[in-house]
Every structure is written in C-alpha cells, then in structure tokens.
A and B are shown apart, each in its own frame.
Chain A
Amino acid sequence: MGIENLISVPKTTGPELVGNLMEHVRDYDITLKEHVRVDSIEKGNIKTITLSSGEQIRTRTVIVATGARWRELGVPGEKENIGNGVAYCPHCDGPFFKGKDVAVIGGGNSGIEAALDLAGIVKSVTVFEFMPELKADKVLIDQAQKRDNITIIKNAATRQITAENGKVNAIEYQDRSTNEVHTRELAGVFVQIGLVPNSQFMKGTVDMTQYGEIIVDTKCHTSEPGIFAAGDVTTVPYKQIVISMGEGAKASLAAFEYLLSHEVVESEQESEAA
C-alpha cells in the first residue's frame, strides 16, 4: 500500500494518492461519471459511448486508461470460492485466516511480500511458483527463507482449488519436473500472479496483443483514429505510476493534435444523432 517511487513525493499510500488525484481533478471543469462501466463504443467521426447505466456520451475523441487488475489463475475452484478462501488482497483478508494454513500463488515480488505479510498472522504459508526459480528480489527471498512458517514450492502448476461445505479445504498441484500430482490441505489461497489489462470492452474496436494490451505507438495512438490509450492497459513497457501519468499526458496532447485537424461537421453530427 505504501508508495515510495512517485518521484518528488517521497512517501504516500494508495488511498492518499487517490485523494490527491481527485483533488487535482476538482481544480478543473471536468465532468465525472463515477461507478459506471463502459458497455460499448461506436466508432465514427463522433463516437458514442454507452454506459452500464444506459446513458450515452457522444464524444470526438476517447482516451482509454482503464489500467490492469490482478490476474486470476483460471483453475477450477478459483472463481467459485472468491470470498470463501480464495483472495487477492492479503492486506484486507489476511486476518480472516488467523491460525490457519494458507497458500500464496506466485513467487514474484507481490507473492513473496504477501507471504511475509501473512506469515505474521496465519499458522503457515506455502508459496507456489510455476517456474523453477522465484522471480522476486533477492532481499525478499532472503527474508522469506528466514521465516520458519514459510515453505516455498517451485516448479509447481496449480491444478485446482477444492472446497468442502462452501469453504476452501485444499489445493491440488502438479510437480512439473516429475508430473506427480499432490494435494495440500489449507484454508486459504492468495493469488498474486501479476496483472491483466482491463481492455475486454475494447475488443474488436482497437488492435490488441494476445495478452489483451491495447497496441499504441509512441504518441498513444491506437489502430482507430480518434481513440487513444494510456498507461497499464497499453503495450507501454513497465507498469509504474510515474510512467502512467506521463503516458496520460501524452495521450491528451495527441488527442489535442487530432482535434485540431478534425473539425466537427455539424450536419454529420445531426445525421449521426438521428
């Protein structure tokens, strides 16, 4: 939750940063539509965005900056048991597993940090890493190895999460070197395997990579004229707050350039509205 790499702001937290972002937005005449989702975007000189509330917004340009979310494992028993033993936020849900055995899936920085965080609360933590080696920073791995209630299992493919009476009771995984299948009894599974772009609603509207990242050029143009994209939802490398902010600025300047060279033809506007 702590953020210490937002340059010129030595220390902040997620919620504090959100508060600051909101405060900055309020300094300007910007219309906010919160708590609604975009259902679809109709292309054209003037684009029509349909929201989950049924409302429509007509707009000359669109900037997609929907970010990325925690990646799901995609194994049986995961979706079914969210909130019943499957969790994505160790910070929030860790206390519910006090004195119990839990697993962390993923041996990257977020996985090892989660394990260290949980080790202070729960009885034991088992970290499952798909690859033969952990991807986390050495300092974190060293700390994890010092804890006697953290076990690390590498080269392990999670096959399913099982539940009994509506609660997670075990995880089944395959040792990728021997192909043997093992079961480990536990009460909770914390999934920490990186991010996936929030781009589904743009499918068919703009070009994406196989991972769902919206393909952008150096000026944040997508494959569709007048639609721009910025930040973690795009192909821009390195998902960092400072990078996202810079990308957002670039996308709006590129949108400004586009607007200068694409005047609105009123009659066209009327006919499209009709």
Chain B
Amino acid sequence: MLTKEILQALKSYAESMQKNVTFVVQTGEHSKREELVTFLSDIASVSEKLNVEERDTNGELRSAISFLLEADGEDTGIRFSGIPGGHEFNSLVLAMLHAAGTELKLDDSVKSMVKAVNEPLNFEVFISLSCHNCPEVVQALNQFALINPNIKTEMIDGGLYQNLIQERDIQGVPSVYLNGELFANGKVDASVLINKLIERDPSLKEASKGDALPLQDVTVIGGGPAGVASAIYSARKGLKVAIVAETFGG
C-alpha cells in the first residue's frame, strides 16, 4: 500500500522525532484489521522510535480497526477509527510527528486558548477519505489534543462505520461531534472549531490577550493568492508584515 518513495520520505521526517510514538491497536476481529496492522507496521518500520502494539484498551477504543497514539507511553488523546489513507494520510503522519515533539502549526493565541480549556472535551470527527476539507479539521483537533490532556479526538472513516452513520444520520463530512452532541457540520474548518469553542466558553478569549504583536507596517487579512502575494511583496520591501487568515488558500 505504501510505496518505497513514501517510506523514504517518512524515514527522513522521522529523523526529527524526539519521543517514541506507539500505535496502540485495539484487539479483536474485523475484516480490515490485517490491512490496518500492516499499514501501521509499514509506517513503523522507518524508525526505531515508532512501534505498533496490539492491546485491549478496555473500551478506550471503538473497535478492532481503531488505534490511538502514545508518546513515550502516555496517551496523546489522538484516535483513528479506520485506515487513514487517502487525504487523511497526512493527518496520521502529522499526528505522529507532532506527538514526537515537532512544533505545532497553530498560532500562539490559539494554543493559549486551547490550553485554557478546563473541562473534558471528547471530539468525534466523521470523514471520508476522499474529502479534501476533512484533514484540516482532523489535524486541528489532533493538535488540540496534544496541547491539552482534557481533549480527546477520534477520526472516524464513515465508510467503515455505516451503522454509526445511519444512527447519527450523517450526510456530509466533516461532521464533528463533541461529547456525543453535534458540534459542527457542513462547512467546517479549523477557524469554525475555534469560534465554536469561544462561543461555548467566552472566557477562553482572555487566555490569548497577552500575546500582542509589535506595531505592524502592513497587516494582510486573508490567506489566498491575493493575500499571500501582498504579504510576500511587502516583506520583500522590508516591511513588518502579518497575515491574519481563517484558512490558508482562501
């Protein structure tokens, strides 16, 4: 399933890993289980810091094709139910690297806000492997989980959990549930998640107030082709530039 080129690329990424990461796969029976274990074992073969372990997690994981990530033996809160190939492959690789200590891609003010969450948040993200908007949501939530031990998140491949899809009546992805209730669906991206968290608990805003930037020459609002072009041109003139964007790419 994984080509030589991909494994080679993974190997070079894995060199920067500071912590050991273990993929803990739930024991049990499932027709796709062997494929999942082979997939994870192939990934783990690129570094001594990566391991696959089959274990009964006592209900922590949904099914025999679910796994979680542990960093140096500690649960990261990141779970996958299904085989994260397709568009979600990057989500798995990033989760693994972030869990191993690579710097997160989130803005400092977002990090401060997520750190301030003081209640247990259990996210479930329903995706399809052909959905190109889904990885952003999965990746944002995975990073939230790494920032704050109160947060757990599970990527669920809707295609492999038809009963659940029917039970929850899901017709569009990504569809995000929080503590068992619908949290966001339809046009969701990372900024929607953050805004919904603020709506839920407005005091989170206070946490990020300390991170003020110095006076900027140019502030670009928007991260699409026009925004990026203006930021780069401004930076080339030696100006002090910031980009504010809900999502990169516009």
Residues of A within 8 A of B (CB): 1, 14-15, 17-18, 21-22, 24-25, 28-38, 46-47, 49, 51-67, 82-89, 91-93, 95-97, 166-167, 188, 198, 228, 230-233, 241, 244-249, 251-253, 255-256, 259, 264, 269
| Smallest CB gap from B209: residue in A | A54
Note all chain A residues with C-beta closer than 8 A to B194: 35-36, 52-53
Q: With A and B bound together, what is the CA distance between A52 and B221 in angstroms?
A: 13
Stretch at the interface among B24-32, B48-56, B183-191: B183-191
| Smallest CB gap from A236: residue in B | B226
Expressed in whole angstroms, the minimum distance between the Cβ of A212 and any Cβ of chain B is 15
Known: A14-B132, A36-B110, A87-B172. A245 touches B226 (CB 8 A): yes
- Are B187 and A34 in contact, CB atoms less than 8 angstroms apart? no
- Are B185 and A83 in contact, CB atoms less than 8 angstroms apart? yes
- Are B107 and A84 in contact, CB atoms less than 8 angstroms apart? no
Query: Counting CB contacts under 8 A, is B239 at the interface?
Result: yes
Known: A82-B187, A244-B226, A248-B233. A55 touches B217 (CB 8 A): no
| Smallest CB gap from A92: residue in B | B131
The contact of B169 among A25, A91, A167, by CB within 8 Å, is: A167
- Are A49 and B171 in contact, CB atoms less than 8 angstroms apart? no
One digit per residue, 1 when the CB lies within 8 angstroms of any chain A CB and 0 when it does not, for chain B 102-139 equals: 00011101100100000000000000101111100000
- Are B208 and A61 in contact, CB atoms less than 8 angstroms apart? no
Expressed in whole angstroms, the minimum distance between the Cβ of A270 and any Cβ of chain B is 11
Q: With A and B bound together, what is the CA distance between A55 and B107 in angstroms?
A: 12
- Are B229 and A57 in contact, CB atoms less than 8 angstroms apart? no
One digit per residue, 1 when the CB lies within 8 angstroms of any chain A CB and 0 when it does not, for chain B 220-250 equals: 1111111111111111110101111111111
Residues of B within 8 A of A (CB): 105-107, 109-110, 113, 128, 130-134, 140, 169-173, 175, 185-187, 189-191, 193-195, 198, 205-206, 208-209, 211-213, 215-237, 239, 241-250
- Are A59 and B217 in contact, CB atoms less than 8 angstroms apart? yes
Known: A53-B194, A231-B225, A264-B215. A28 touches B220 (CB 8 A): no
Known: A21-B249, A33-B109. A230 touches B221 (CB 8 A): no
Note all chain B residues with C-beta closer than 8 A to A230: 226-227, 229-230
Q: With A and B bound together, what is the CA distance between A85 and B171 in angstroms?
A: 6
Note all chain B residues with C-beta closer than 8 A to A84: 169, 171-172
The contact of A57 among B186, B191, B216, B233, by CB within 8 Å, is: B216
- Are A59 and B172 in contact, CB atoms less than 8 angstroms apart? no
- Are A83 and B132 in contact, CB atoms less than 8 angstroms apart? no
Q: With A and B bound together, what is the CA distance between A47 and B216 in angstroms?
A: 10
A-B contact pairs, 5 of them (CB 8 A): A34-B105, A34-B106, A36-B109, A232-B250, A252-B234
- Are B222 and A31 in contact, CB atoms less than 8 angstroms apart? no
Note all chain B residues with C-beta closer than 8 A to A88: 187
| Smallest CB gap from A66: residue in B | B222
Known: A28-B235, A167-B171, A244-B226. A92 touches B132 (CB 8 A): yes
- Are A53 and B208 in contact, CB atoms less than 8 angstroms apart? yes
Expressed in whole angstroms, the minimum distance between the Cβ of A72 and any Cβ of chain B is 10
- Are A63 and B230 in contact, CB atoms less than 8 angstroms apart? yes
- Are B225 and A35 in contact, CB atoms less than 8 angstroms apart? no
Q: With A and B bound together, what is the CA distance between A105 and B118 in angstroms?
A: 44
Note all chain A residues with C-beta closer than 8 A to B208: 53-55
Q: With A and B bound together, what is the CA distance between A91 and B216 in angstroms?
A: 39
- Are B110 and A231 in contact, CB atoms less than 8 angstroms apart? no
Given A37-B191, A62-B218, A245-B226, 15 more A-B residue pairs with CB atoms under 8 Å apart are A14-B132, A21-B248, A25-B228, A35-B110, A35-B191, A38-B244, A53-B110, A55-B109, A65-B226, A67-B227, A93-B171, A248-B231, A252-B230, A252-B231, A256-B239
- Are B226 and A67 in contact, CB atoms less than 8 angstroms apart? yes
- Are A52 and B232 in contact, CB atoms less than 8 angstroms apart? no
Note all chain B residues with C-beta closer than 8 A to A85: 171
- Are B218 and A59 in contact, CB atoms less than 8 angstroms apart? yes
Q: With A and B bound together, what is the CA distance between A49 and B242 in angstroms?
A: 11
- Are A52 and B195 in contact, CB atoms less than 8 angstroms apart? yes
Note all chain A residues with C-beta closer than 8 A to B248: 18, 21-22, 34
- Are A53 and B234 in contact, CB atoms less than 8 angstroms apart? no
Q: With A and B bound together, what is the CA distance between A106 and B198 in angstroms?
A: 35
- Are A35 and B246 in contact, CB atoms less than 8 angstroms apart? yes
Note all chain B residues with C-beta closer than 8 A to A58: 213, 215-216
The contact of A67 among B132, B186, B224, B230, by CB within 8 Å, is: B224
- Are B131 and A252 in contact, CB atoms less than 8 angstroms apart? no
The contact of B219 among A37, A63, A66, by CB within 8 Å, is: A63
